[in-house]
Amino acid sequence: MHQTSLRPQLNASFFFFLNPQSSALTLFSTVSRSLPGLISSQPRAIRQRHLLLAASPVRPRPSPPVLLHPRIAGVTRSSRLLLLCSLLRASIAPRYKSVGSQKHTNLSKMETSEEQKYGVRRLEMSDKGKGFIELLQQLSVCDSVSDKEFEDRFRELSSLGDDHVICVIEDHVSKKIIATGSVFIEKKFLRNCGNVGHIEDVVVDSSTRGKQLGKKIINFLTDHARSMGCYKVILDCSIENKLFYEKCGFKQKEIQMVRYFV
């Protein structure tokens, strides 16, 4: 046998860094496959020397013995390789675990920050000055409302308690209302005097769409209807918004009919 360079061993070590769960047999296979490529990549004079050494009947001088630590001197070569793999795995695994844990922590922080930035709450008296009426104008006809008119209607709806709830999302950076919706509870004799929730006036500011704010509003309103003992919650929407409400768990049923008086 002829002497070989340390390059196959380096390739094998690199292979184990990439595949820490590989076995000793895979290591030997990797080294064996890499030898022909290493010899063919050498200059012509060196390749000829390798061929002469391989054909020569004279055996080269044996390599000096490798001094091993006394605790592993009696261990077979394959066992030593497996031990090396275990050590490499132990040194690499914590790094990947640390990176994954850090990414999960950062993602949780981002979700918490997003939740705090766009939290859903009930309508307040001061929301008129934060663009609440202007936001409704993006949905339908909503003429200017004076402060007195807003206050009177706000107190009227507030007197209904949980039977009529208007929720909003405020952007705490711009101090503007950027999403809103409402639900009122209909008292029925049907279904053993059951309740039905009606969702109305859902709108998200055009500059902040695509951030799942509409879904947050719908979830808040449907959760409130469920907590009020409603056996169903219904709403009307345009054809363009049909897919959005289907993603929120709604399905098309029957046909809407309307008759305007004004």
Residue-wise pLDDT tens digits, 151-183 = 999 999 999 999 999 999 999 999 999 999 999
pTM for the complete prediction? Answer: 0.59
Q: What percent of the chain has pLDDT over 90?
A: 52
| Alpha helix segments (H runs only) across 118-212 | 132-136, 147-158, 190-193
Residue-wise pLDDT tens digits, 194-249 = 999 999 999 999 999 999 999 999 999 999 999 999 999 999 999 999 999 999 99
Give the separation between CA 218 and CA 203, rounded to whole angstroms: 10
Q: Which residue has the higher pLDDT, 221 or 7?
A: 221
Written as one letter, the residue type at 23 is S
Q: For residue 51, what is the enclosing H or E element?
A: helix 44-55
Nearest to 124 by CA among 147, 158, 152: 158
Residues in the chain: 262
Residue-wise pLDDT tens digits, 106-132 = 655 555 566 667 899 999 999 999 999
Beta bridge partners of 176: 171
